[in-house]
Every structure is written in C-alpha cells, then in structure tokens.
Amino acid sequence: MIRVGTMAALAAVILAAPAGAQVQTQTQTQTRTLPGAQGAGVQGAGAQGTTAQRPVSDELFAAAAASGGLAEVNVSQIGLQRATDPELKRFSQQMVEEHTRMNQELMNLVAQKRIAIPQTIDARAQFCADSLAGLTGGEFDKCYAKAQLVIHMDSVAMFEAEAQRGQDPDVKALAAKSLTHIKQHLNEIKPIAMRYEKEKHGENASSGRQGQ
C-alpha cells in the first residue's frame, strides 16, 4: 500500500508540473552592459544593483496556463466527488466554477491570437488524478489539500511572470486579471492544507511517544 505522504508528494509534483515547467526557462535574469564600458568592466545593472529581466513567451504561457487550467478543473471535480471535508467540498465547487470560466476566457483570447493550446489534460495530470481517485476518506482529503496548495502556489508564480514580463498586452492583461483570483484561491486553500499538515505532525508525535 502506498503511504499517504508519498501520495501527497506525488499529487503535488505531478499536478504542479504542467503549469510551471514550460515557463521555467523564461524566468532567468541577465545583466545589461553599458555601451563602450566593456574594457573597463563596468556594468550598468551591476552599478545600480539591479538586473534586467528577460520577457517571457506569451505562447508558452498560454499553453502552460491552458494545461494547468484543465488539470485544475479535472482534479477539483474529483475533490467535489470524494472529499469528506466540507471546506474542501466547498473549495472544489468554487474551483470548478471559477477555473472553468477562466479557461474559457483564455480560450477566447488565444483563438483571436491564433495561439495553439492543449485541449485535453496531459498524461502526467491524468496519472495524478487517477492516483488521487484511488484514495478515500481522510487519506484523500490530506493528499488533495496539499495538491491544491502546490498547484496554486505554482500558478501564482506563472501568472505573475506573464503579467509582469509578457510581451502581448492582451495576454498580459488576462494574466493579471486571473492572477487576482488565483491568489485568492491560494489564500483559501493554504489554511486548510496547513491544518492537515499540523494534524499529521500531531499524529506522528503521538505515535513516537507510544513507541518509546
């Protein structure tokens, strides 16, 4: 039998991957050198203590956001069906409704821009969803809460990158608009996930005392 901690880590890593992995290479920074200053070794950004940031790819963001959005709706539907915690059920319903709307807004925009995006969840997200669907009761609630926390932490970073450093003004505006909602989702799931984490530590401490 797979341990609950292992399942939680699996769910978190796999569900987070589609959203952030594709834009990770776009987030590095570079130092700008002043013209004519190479010989003296003087760097404009270094002199000011700041670095110039590279723009991110709007196409990669759109593809990653679409993949992550579809995975979020899919896993939230599982949460709506299998969660026993009323807070998680409420959160799942909210995620299905709001991410379905955000996914549609993204689809409408990329259709205008003629940007290709995924239309179905990828194999990694499907595997994670199937893994979560194999759990029940408190085990499911713990893994699901942690997965949702990591998904939204990853999404905040991704949407912030596009909102700040995207190149297409329309895609940037959509990212900024969606970011407000995703941050709110993160603020809602964080205390729920932390509650389960505290309960797990309490159980481990109790088991340790009994084993002495």
pLDDT in tens, 138-165: 999 999 999 999 999 999 999 999 999 9
Residue closest to 75 by CA, chosen among 14, 116, 118: 14
So what's the pLDDT on residue 128? 86
Q: Are 185 and 152 in contact (CB under 8 A)?
A: yes
Q: How confident is the model at residue 199 (pLDDT cuts 50, 70, 90)?
A: confident
The mean pLDDT of the chain is: 80
Q: What is the pTM of this model?
A: 0.73
Q: What is the CATH number of domain 4-23+56-205?
A: 1.20.1260.10
Q: How confident is the model at residue 36 (pLDDT cuts 50, 70, 90)?
A: very low
Can you read off the two tokens belonging to residue 29?
Answer: 């920074």
Residue closest to 180 by CA, chosen among 199, 200, 163, 195: 163
Residue closest to 4 by CA, chosen among 122, 136, 100, 119: 136
